[in-house]
Structure 1
Amino acid sequence: MVTLQLRQLSVPPGHRVILHNVNWQEFQAILEELGDHRAARLAYSQGTLEMRMPLPKHEVAKVIIGDLVKILLEELEIDCESFGSTTFKREDMACGVEPDDSFYIQNHAQMIGKERIDLTVDPPPDLVIEVDVTSKTQLEAYEALRVPELWLYEDGKLQINLFRNGKYIQSEISPNFPNLPIVETILRFVEQSRTVGRSPALRAFRKWVREQI
């Protein structure tokens, strides 16, 4: 058997490495060795670990969509706690994920001041965002963690997935923003940010939200 150190692995941007037969203790050790300050994102489900290195365009899309959600929450005066790309994991479910962005909305009050999350007692985030998601492992992990709402952005398309009866179903409506055409509007302003720039697009979006309320 050949044993490799993590530092021997080099994952180019836009690529991923999938490791099989990784037990929970090994997953925990990998998290610790890689640390928090890293570009790679991990997803773990039932012994399969995916390590992916995002492209710059992934990071740009992730940031703009997260900013749009934050503006929505602010302008609608919806309290939230943002946990970004925190590692959400449960040993009894043998899964762990690191979303591109995450928000506690309905459950925000009990997450105020939290520095560590234990999903055996804490709820999962109410809304998570994933950009360029192609891995079945991640979806299985989110289902296991029972994340209520998952936004997937890929190839210029936004898909809202709601957790129902153990599986995700697609929806045109976000329960967190039920009175707004979320899919159409988010895509419009993401595209606008590519032509006029991030700041003008965010200002225009804030103006649009205020007009709706």
Structure 2
Amino acid sequence: MVVSSANTQSFVKLIEYLNCDAIDSDRLLIYGDISWNTYENLLDYLGNSPYFKVVYHQGILQIMSPSSRHEIYKKTLGMLVENYCLETGIYFYPLGSTTLKSQDKLKGLEPDQCYCIGSKKKIPDLAIEVVITSGGIKTLEIYKGLGVSEVWFWQNGELQVFCLENGEYLQKNNSQLLPKIDLELLVSYLDWDEPFDAILDFKAKIRSKKEERSIK
């Protein structure tokens, strides 16, 4: 649903639509001509609600209510990354869906998952987005303005990696932050019916590879 403009009060009824329990699918609202103050008021109104994702880009505002399928994929993908770091001794700081924003650049969003790698920073190094419903704001432009080093997009069973170089994102075959991670193997676990079993198997494969390297 696209709305040309709105004020803070008019969001309430539309948010009720997004939060309709009868529909388990990503629901998306996009508004135009929205001020920065209205965006911040909406963030205050929603608080830390896990039921909505809010994206703002130069006057365009998007509110999404993720489906359970979206949430399962994002949490499983996050757990896979975290367990990889734990098994390989890489320090990381999980920031979840922390709101990232810049009033100067009129940009703001909440990643599905984001991480600082190595040390804690104001802006995360890695952001991960699960795309079930396309057609919304192009979030890569927002991440570029915020200076996030690397962004992963999982969509239609494929993972795309974008790395920030000289102010522009370039698509890569491998992660620059986690250069030894097997992304093809990682993504294959998202098809498993049981996330618990997927995580255990992934950890076992990482340990097996470590043992093979130590023998050599």
Task: Report the TM-score range of the alignment, normalised by the length of the smaller protein.
Answer: 0.7 to 0.9
Q: Secondary structure at the match of 2:89?
A: coil
- How many angstroms apart in 2 are the aligned matches of 1:58 and 1:74? 24
Distance 1:199 1:2, change over 3 A: closer
Partner-residue secondary structure (3-state), 1:174: coil
- Cross-structure match for 2:207: 210
TM-score normalised to the size of structure 1? 0.86
Which residue of 1 is the match for residue 56 of structure 2?
44
Structure 1 distance, partners of 2:33, 2:11, is 16
The corresponding residue for 1:190 is 190
Q: For 1:44 and 1:148, locate their aligned partners in 2 and report how far apart those are by CA, in whole Å.
A: 20
| Paired residue type of 2:45 | E
- Residue 141 of structure 1 corresponds to 142
Q: Which residue of 2 is the match for residue 115 of structure 1? A: none
SS at match of 1:180: coil
Report the number of matched residues: 196
Q: In angstroms, what is the RMSD of aligned CA positions? A: 1.8
Query: Do 2:62 and 2:137's aligned partners in 1 also have CA atoms closer than 8 Å?
Result: no
| Structure 1 unaligned regions, length at least 5 | 112-121
**Normalised by the size of structure 2, how large is the TM-score?**
0.85
Match of 1:128 in 2: 127
What displacement does 1:2 show?
Answer: 7.8
Q: Separation in 1 of the partners of 2:6 and 2:204?
A: 58
Deviations 1:102-136 (Å, cap 9, x if unpaired)?
A: 1011332xx5xxxxxxxxxx3x1011110016334
Q: Which residue of 1 aligns with 2:11?
A: 6
Alignment of 1:1-213 (within 5 A): 4-9=9-14, 10-11=17-18, 13-108=25-120, 111=121, 122=122, 124-132=123-131, 134=134, 135-182=136-183, 184-191=184-191, 193-194=192-193, 197-213=194-210
Identity, % of aligned pairs?
Answer: 29
Q: Structure 2 vs 1, CA of residues 2 and 64 (structure 1 numbering), >3 Å: closer, same or farther?
A: closer
